[in-house]
């Protein structure tokens, strides 16, 4: 069954301090109201919600994510595919070294480069348009948008539901925004997107 929208939450949440659930990354606090509105919309319309955790964050464990399809890094692990027909929340695992500089040098922020199951997940979910937002705009959010576009699927990038990458500048963010738009992403605000949903 095709879905009109799928939501791609990039690195906004991590394992909480108790190790039993999810918590927001401290740096995304300014956009938490927008995030919660998007999560509620996904749940209300039964849209798939795919999310990742920052390489420098506390990586969740499967036991901490009930009712979530855990998508592992290695494509020899296929048991997760049995949940594709019923799950609506998906955790796309990312590689991490535990050292921020190594994560950057090895491009572990790019979930599509290092998770061999990511492409299969996108194909099977059959989403018409992915709505991308989140944390680490120049790196992680950009990698999510590019990966979806390379898979031949449409992207709406929410320009006002994003947090800058560490070390980013206004100039680098404008360049990233321009590049992603030129590569095919549709850029809009959250309010414009919500109006589009309401008109459907």
Per-residue pLDDT, averaged over 66-78, amounts to 94
pTM of the full predicted structure?
0.95
pLDDT of residue 61: 85
Specify the 3-state DSSP secondary structure of 54: coil
Per-residue pLDDT, averaged over 139-160, amounts to 96
What are the boundaries of each domain within the chain?
A: 3-199
pLDDT of residue 1: 58
Task: Walk across the sheet containing 186-188 and list its strands.
Answer: 69-71, 89-92, 49-51, 3-10, 127-135, 154-163, 186-188
- pLDDT for residue 2 is more than 80: no
| Homologous superfamily (CATH) for 3-199 | Isochorismatase-like (3.40.50.850)
Rounded CA-CA distance 182/104 in Å is 24
Q: At what angle do helices 142-150 and 170-182 cross, to 10 degrees?
A: 10
pLDDT tens across 79-102, in order? 999 999 889 999 999 999 988 899
Rounded CA-CA distance 137/143 in Å is 9
Tokens of 187: 């850029």
pLDDT of residue 111: 95
- CB atoms under 10 Å from CB of 124, counted, come to 12
The secondary element (H helix, E strand) that includes residue 19 is: none
The secondary element (H helix, E strand) that includes residue 186 is: strand 186-188
Tell me what percent of the residues of the chain surpass a pLDDT of 90: 82
- pLDDT for residue 200 is more than 80: no
């Amino acid at each position: 069954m095709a879905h009109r929208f799928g939501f791609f939450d990039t690195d906004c949440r991590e394992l909480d301090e108790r190790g039993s659930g999810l918590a927001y990354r401290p740096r995304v606090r300014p956009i938490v109201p927008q995030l919660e509105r998007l999560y509620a919309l996904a749940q209300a319309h039964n849209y798939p919600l795919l999310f990742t955790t920052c390489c420098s964050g506390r990586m969740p464990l499967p036991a901490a994510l009930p009712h979530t399809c855990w998508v592992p890094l290695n494509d020899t692990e296929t048991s997760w595919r049995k949940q594709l027909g019923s799950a609506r929340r998906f955790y796309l695992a990312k590689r991490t070294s535990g050292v921020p500089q190594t994560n950057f040098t090895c491009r572990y922020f790019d979930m599509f480069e290092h998770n061999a199951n990511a492409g299969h997940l996108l194909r099977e979910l059959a989403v018409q348009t992915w709505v991308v937002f989140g944390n680490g705009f120049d790196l992680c959010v950009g990698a999510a948008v590019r990966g979806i576009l390379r898979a031949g699927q449409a992207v709406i990038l929410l320009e006002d539901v994003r947090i800058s990458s560490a070390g980013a500048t206004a100039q680098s963010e404008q360049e990233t925004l321009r590049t992603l738009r030129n590569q095919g992403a549709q850029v809009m605000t959250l309010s414009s997107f919500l109006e589009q949903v309401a008109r459907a």
